[in-house]
Amino acid sequence: MTCCVIVDYGSGNLHSAEKSFQRMAADRPFTEIRVTGDPEAVIRADMIVLPGVGAFAACRQALADRKGLVEALFEAARDRAVPFFGICVGMQMMATVGTERGATCAGLDWIPGEVIPLATNDVTLRLPHMGWNAFDSCATEHPVFAGVAPGDHAYFVHSYHLRPRDPSHVLAQATHGETFAAAVGFDNIVGTQFHPEKSQATGLRIIGNFLGWRP
């Protein structure tokens, strides 16, 4: 049995994520989707999903407040190199640092870079960036994005974005006032600024690809 753990640390749309991952796991009879905040379960997981909704600093603090959870993520995702999927703020927390209202907060530093506010001079574009947006570019060669192409749409809810130092870590881009990283990743790690669990066919395809990914 392969176990995909969706990390519960008190932040994230766990119900929607769980249902979407369960739906795509239905065709994989030996794949279990488990929602838990137990560090031991995270360490033993074969795949890990880290969701996140809200402010960077609040999510990072909530993660740190769960004793042993950050260490478990490092052991599983970095030491054992199990497939890891960060969603929205779960993706942003992979950055070196996040900035918010003039304050800075350290991230996990898996993707060197910073989380900064979206910038737009167009008064017709509202923040937070909320709703459907098309990919300007997409790393179609990446296994998690197989069958996904520029022009496909995903659902976003955010006012900040992760700007990686290394452009090769950007797997997809979209534009809302400025062009930003819609997805990042390298090796066994991938993250999306958008919510795949809310992105209908495109999101379900990405979730299914992740469940079958063996980097």
**CA-based angle 199:126:60, to the nearest 5?**
65
Q: Are strands 84-87 and 47-50 parallel, antiparallel or unpaired?
A: parallel
Q: How far apart are the first and last CA of the chain?
A: 18
Q: Which residues are catalytic?
A: 88, 195, 197
Distances (CA, A) of 97 to 103, 131, 161, 162: 10, 26, 11, 9
Residue with tokens 């910073």: 114
Give the 3-state secondary structure of residue 97.
strand
